[in-house]
Amino acid sequence: MWRRLVGFICVTGFACLSACGARTGLEDPCTPTGEEQCDGLDNDCNGAVDDGVTPITCSTLACVTTVVCADGVMPACVPPEPSEETCNLIDDDCDGEIDEGFGFGPLGDVIALRTDEFDTGDCTSCSWAFGTTLAPVDGGHLALWELGVSGGSEQANLYGRRLDPLGNPAGPIELLRSDFVLNLVPMPASTPAPPRGFPVDTMLRVGSGDVPGVLFIDGTGTTTLASPTLGGSVQNVPRTVWTGSRFISAWEEEEQLRLAVLDANGVLERELEVDPLTRPVAITLSAYRDRVGILVTRFVAEPETREQWFMQLDALGNVLTPAHPIDVEYANWQRLIGTEQGWLHVRPNSFGEPSTRQPLDVTGEPLESATAFADGRSLTDSGTQDIFLPLPDQQEILTAWQSSDSAIMHVEFLDGRGDTKRGWSGPLPMVGSDQDYLADPHVALSNDRVLVIWHGGGADSEPNRVYVRAFGCVP
């Protein structure tokens, strides 16, 4: 039976429907009582409880606290009390500055990212992690490393682990790719980054051959590989840099220097026609502010000597300074580092002998003679225990290295001459037999903080560890 009430249509024995279609049951309709309050009620009758209640904010100087309505209760807003400033990413003393007044140093303890993972069978060296690298991703960084590949018993071996901005693990160790990666090398790179993501120079095992390529890591942590670039075997790894618009790759083939330009996807665009440089024995590249420097060491048989030749390209791979000899002394694993004035040549030396640095102008000509570092440091000639990262916007060089005669780790900011502006030195972690060895270090900036990743050494039969540590409080 139908019956009509004012404003309602009802069926006997059933609930009433309001004229606008809202189901009310047998209760009275909601009656608005005013603006929404933090009381657990639907004051404005919009079907939502405590929605749109304005948060309350209170402060002490520059320290601000905000409280919001929860479960019908607005918490009391208590402004923070200023305290002594500490190195913790917080404005403890409420003066508007964070971590001021501190020297550069660790923000926390060393974090072990990897101790062991997966079964590598009878291949003892396959349990070792190499090529530790950091790639920026959304929310932090992706730590990368590759495990050894043993001849015919190849296995997928590129692994990674997500980190937050201070290096804390934000996920488990993951197998990233099924390719057989032989080597990961941090790539000197200018901004902006290529569209496919952060680039890493890599060497792959394809069939029975070793071919170079470019590994890309995008913001989601997804990895892709470019088509293998030109080059030779793993003993002649091409050095590749990213200029902000192109990849420049240099290598030795049939006792000749060869250069190639790759597009932003890592695909060959063209080979460069350069004056032939025969018998190159060492090739070093660096990128800085839309220019690429290439330092080539040539072997001369009569009389037996090594010559240093330099050339400069622009960001598109066009020759700016043709190859010519320069008065720079050769050493194994020499470094060419971009600076505002031009370049800095860092020359490691024999064990126990001080290393030298020598500023060069943009054409490669020495600006002054080579001198030892002020602290007399001796970098190793293995090329695996230090890294130099140019920071063009800051006109500085970020470096991490280990003293050749002790288990001391150094993280420093250098100027264009190689003098230390600020830094920290301290012991490496001593957790096990492999913890006194800083190998394959890589550095990255994260919100004015520095992350350093490296792996330890030890016996082949024991998995080594991968570590990361955060530094900061830069005055």
Which strands form 371-372's sheet, in the order they lie side by side? 335-338, 342-347, 356-361, 371-372
Mean pLDDT of 268-273: 90
pTM of structure? 0.80
Of the chain, the end-to-end C-alpha distance in Å amounts to: 83
Among residues 269, 178, 177, the alpha carbon closest in space to that of 217 is found at 177
pLDDT given at position 323: 93
For residue range 148-164, list pLDDT tens digits in order: 766 555 566 889 999 99
CA distance 68 to 367: 62
Confidence category of residue 2, pLDDT binned at 50, 70, 90: very low
Average pLDDT score over the chain: 84
Q: Which residue has the higher pLDDT, 31 or 294?
A: 294
Strand segments (E) across 178-333: 180-186, 198-206, 209-217, 223-225, 239-242, 247-253, 256-262, 268-271, 280-288, 291-300, 305-314, 319-325
Q: Which amino acid is at 402?
A: Q
Lowest mean pLDDT across 12-26, 32-46, 103-117: 12-26
Confidence category of residue 18, pLDDT binned at 50, 70, 90: very low
pLDDT given at position 231: 66
Confidence category of residue 294, pLDDT binned at 50, 70, 90: very high
Query: Is pLDDT at 30 greater than 60 in this prediction?
Result: yes
pLDDT given at position 237: 53
- For 219, half-sphere exposure in the C-beta direction (CA atoms, 13 angstrom radius) is 5
pLDDT given at position 405: 77
**How large a percentage of the chain has pLDDT more than 90?**
50
Mean pLDDT of 211-238: 78
Mean pLDDT of 16-24: 39
User: Would you call 150 helix, strand, or coil by DSSP?
Assistant: strand
Mean pLDDT of 11-27: 41
Q: Which tokens sit at 209?
A: 């051959």
CA distance 189 to 288: 8
Are 80 and 94 in contact, with CB atoms under 8 Å apart? yes
pLDDT given at position 460: 63
Domains assigned to the chain? 1-30 (no CATH), 105-472 (2.130.10.10)
Query: Is pLDDT at 423 greater than 50 in this prediction?
Result: yes
User: Would you call 248 helix, strand, or coil by DSSP?
Assistant: strand
Q: Which amino acid is at 288?
A: Y
Mean pLDDT of 136-146: 95
CA–CA distances in Å: residue 161 to residues 2, 172, 234, 316, 468: 68, 6, 26, 34, 11
CA distance 296 to 326: 10
